[in-house]
């Protein structure tokens, strides 16, 4: 498995683009790359849709022999149906997929693979990783662990915290694993861990429940920045003053701006750029322009975003 930092991922994407553009040995046979991703149900997936559509436009403009088909789905069930329709309509040379959920999409992706299709999985891994030829994602265990280490240190390894998790997926499991493994070695009590589906409104409601149920909460971890916004609003409306920290993750520009402004409740974050989908599409497209197929796992590292380095992660024109 190859671990790369955020800048390296950008350079990898740029290198893939440059190699594609420079290729003169391009086969003219029509190639179809299907891209199956969740619809823009929250900020991060909105960024994913944006970057996937950008890759589609750029690749098709440069290479008439490559047809990139981007399909968005609002649920796991809809994504399964979309895969079936894509596979039935044409021969797929490659599939780049960000699964809505891991378990429900593993079988359908395996069926596509059986037709000889190259499989690239982004972000939310399949429950059977042997199906994928290429995997591009962040280091989700580090996202949870690095956040937990910072929180534990600030709390002096004492206190009570609540956790909001996302959608049942491999990456959510990994983030929770990273966080809880660190906390096991402290005297910090995790009062509750429940799903809020990476949704701001659901996180707001869940945090209200936590506030009603637990009279003492020292810190909150929402493992996604969309949920963090809901948490912050619930805390604000409650008037509770004992909560020292509310932390998220993913590097949403609004949250990075909080870090830049040294917000006392949200002074750090972790990056998880949605542009990884664009990188994966370019990596896959390279094999249809005379390059050898890129295989294996590529993971981003997860350094803390702090006031000292936040400007490196702040992109005000980004959709996320």
CA distance 306 to 246: 14
Q: Give 18-58 pLDDT, tens digit per residue.
A: 555 544 344 468 999 999 999 988 778 888 998 999 999 99
pLDDT at 296: 95
Say whether 140-260 and 2-139+273-302 share the same fold.
yes
| 29 or 98: which leads in pLDDT | 98
Please report, for residues 60, 83, 86, 224, the alpha-carbon distance to residue 91 in angstroms, rounded to integers and kept in the order given: 18, 12, 8, 36
As a whole-number percent, the residues of the chain with pLDDT over 70 amount to 91
Phi, psi of 187 (to 5 degrees): -100, 15
Domain 140-260, CATH: 3.40.50.2300
Q: Per residue in 224-271, pLDDT tens?
A: 999 999 999 999 999 999 999 999 998 899 999 999 999 999 999 998
The reported pLDDT for the residue numbered 209 is 98
Considering the domain 2-139+273-302, what is its CATH architecture? Answer: 3-Layer(aba) Sandwich (3.40)
Q: Which of 150-159, 242-251, 271-280 has the lowest mean pLDDT?
A: 271-280
Q: What percent of the chain has pLDDT over 90?
A: 76
pLDDT of res. 274: 86
The answer on pLDDT for 313 being more than 80 is: yes
Q: Indicate the pTM of the whole model.
A: 0.73
* Beta strand segments in 123-238, E: 134-138, 158-165, 187-195, 219-222
d(CA 270, CA 81): 34
Tens-place pLDDT, residues 173-218: 999 999 999 999 999 999 999 999 999 999 999 999 999 999 999 9
Per-domain residue ranges for the chain?
2-139+273-302, 140-260
């Amino acid at each position: 498995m190859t671990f790369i930092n955020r800048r390296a991922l950008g350079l990898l994407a740029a290198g893939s683009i440059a190699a594609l553009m420079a290729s003169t040995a391009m086969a003219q046979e029509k190639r179809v790359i299907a891209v199956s991703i969740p619809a823009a149900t929250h900020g991060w997936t909105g960024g994913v849709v944006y970057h996937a559509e950008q890759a589609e436009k750029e690749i098709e403009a440069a290479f008439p022999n490559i047809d990139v088909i981007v399909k968005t789905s609002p649920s796991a069930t809809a994504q399964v149906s979309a895969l079936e329709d894509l596979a039935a309509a044409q021969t797929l040379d490659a599939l780049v997929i960000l699964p809505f959920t891991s378990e429900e999409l593993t079988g359908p992706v395996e069926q596509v693979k059986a037709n000889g299709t190259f499989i690239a999985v982004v972000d939310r891994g399949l429950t059977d990783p042997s199906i994928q030829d290429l995997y591009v994602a962040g280091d989700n265990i580090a996202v949870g662990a690095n956040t937990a280490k910072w929180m534990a240190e600030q709390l002096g390894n004492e206190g009570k915290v609540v956790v909001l998790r996302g959608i049942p997926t491999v990456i959510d499991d990994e983030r929770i694993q990273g966080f809880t493994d660190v906390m096991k070695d402290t005297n910090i009590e995790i009062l509750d861990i429940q799903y809020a589906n990476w949704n701001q409104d659901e996180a707001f409601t869940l945090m209200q429940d936590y506030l009603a149920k637990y009279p003492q909460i020292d810190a909150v971890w929402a493992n996604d920045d969309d949920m963090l916004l809901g948490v912050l609003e619930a805390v604000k409306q409650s008037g509770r003053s004992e909560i020292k920290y509310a932390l998220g993750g993913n590097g949403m520009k609004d949250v990075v701006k909080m870090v830049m402004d040294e917000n006392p409740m949200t002074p750090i974050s972790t990056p998880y750029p949605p542009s990884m989908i664009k990188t994966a599409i370019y990596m896959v497209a390279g094999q249809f322009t005379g390059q050898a197929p890129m295989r294996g796992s590529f993971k981003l590292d997860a350094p803390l975003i702090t006031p000292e380095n936040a400007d490196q992660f702040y992109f005000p024109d980004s959709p996320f």
